[in-house]
Amino acid sequence: MAGKNNKKIKQKKIMQKNTNPWLEAFRRLIKSRIGVAGLTVIFLLLLVAVFAPVLAPYDPLKTNIMARYKAPSSEHLLGTDGMGRDILSRIIFGSRISLQVGLISVSLALIFGVGFGLVAGFYGGKVDMIIMRLMDIMLAFPSILLAIAIVAILGPQLKNAMLAIGIINIPRFARIIRSSVLSIKESEYISAARALGAGDMRILFKHILPNAMAPLIVQTTLSIATAILEAAALSFLGLGAQPPSPEWGAMLSDARSSLQKAPWVATFPGLAIIFGVLGFNLLGDGLRDALDPKMKNV
C-alpha cells in the first residue's frame, strides 16, 4: 500500500509539472514552425553580435581608398563601400548596435509603459483619464515623426535616438497593461487578497502583473523589431548613429549616391535589417499563438 501511495504522489507531482502554463506555452512554441524560425534567426543574430571581433574579417572602421567600391569577391565577400571598408565586417558589428538599440529602447518603454498602465487601470477615475489622454496625444502623432521631433530637440546621436524610440513606444505598453488590469482586478482572487489585508503594491506586482505577462511578452518581442526598423530610419535620415558607426541604417544612407555603380553597398545592409526584423516578428507571432489560451488543446 505504501508503494502504491508513493506512485500516486509521484504521478500527481508529474501532472502538476506538466500543467505548468509557462511550460505548456514553451512546448507549443517549440512545436510552432514560425516560432522556431524566429528563435533560430534571433539566436544567429546574437551569436554574430557576441562574436563580432572573431567573425569579422576586417576592421569595420578602417578605410582603404585603393579598395573603393570593390565588388563581392573572395577577398571581400560582400564587397566594399565608398571608403574601401569591408561591408561584411560592418554588417557584423552593426548587429551589436541594432540589438543594443532594440533592447535598451524597448526596456525603457516597458518600464514606463507598464508603470503608467498599472496605475491607470488599477486606480481608475481622474488618474486613469489623465494618463490615458496623455497616451492618446502621443498616439495621435505618427511614431516616426514624433521620434524625429524628439531627436531634433535633443541632438542627432544614437543615445538620443534610443530615448526617442523608447518614448514613442510607451503608449503601446501602457494601453495593453491597462486593458489587462481592468479585467484582472475584478477577479475573485483579487477580492480575496484584499480581504486578507494585501496592500495595493502587493496586489499589483504579485497578483495582477504576473497574470498580465502573456500579452506583454508578445508586445515586447514585436516592439524590438519595430525599434530596430525605427533606429535604421533615424540613422538613414542622419538623426541616429553618426559616421563612421557601422549602423545598418547609416550604411544605407551612405550608399544612396552609389546605387547604380555599386548596388551591393545598399543591398546587404538592407537585407540585414530585413533579417533582424523578420526574426523578432516571427518569434512574436509564435509567442502569440503559444501564449493564447485558446491554443491549449491544439
pLDDT in tens, 10-47: 555 544 445 677 788 788 888 889 989 999 999 999 99
Q: What's the pTM?
A: 0.86
Q: How confident is the model over 241-269, as a mean pLDDT?
A: 91
Nearest of 102, 53, 83, 122 to residue 223 by alpha carbon? 102
Q: Tell me, what amino acid is at 98? A: S
**pLDDT tens profile 141-184:** 999 999 999 999 999 999 999 999 999 999 999 999 999 898 88
What is the CA 248 to chain-centroid distance, rounded? 17
**pLDDT tens profile 107-134:** 999 999 999 999 999 998 899 999 999 9
Asked if the 24-56+77-295 domain carries CATH number 1.10.3720.10, the reply is yes
**pLDDT tens profile 209-230:** 888 888 899 999 999 999 999 9
Q: Residue 202 in contact with residue 193, Cβ under 8 Å? A: yes
What is residue 211's predicted lDDT score, i.e. its pLDDT?
A: 85
What is residue 189's predicted lDDT score, i.e. its pLDDT?
A: 79
Q: Tell me, what amino acid is at 149? A: A
Domain boundaries, the chain: 24-56+77-295
Bridge-partner residues for 80, per DSSP?
A: 86
- Confidence tier at 7 by pLDDT (50, 70, 90): low
Angle between helices 33-50 and 21-31 (to 10 degrees): 90
What is residue 5's predicted lDDT score, i.e. its pLDDT?
A: 52
User: CB-based burial of residue 17 (10 Å sphere; 0-12 exposed, 13-18 middle, 19+ buried)?
Assistant: exposed
Cell of 104: 535598451
**pLDDT tens profile 48-60:** 999 999 999 999 9
**pLDDT tens profile 84-103:** 999 999 999 999 999 999 99
Q: Tell me, what amino acid is at 11? A: Q
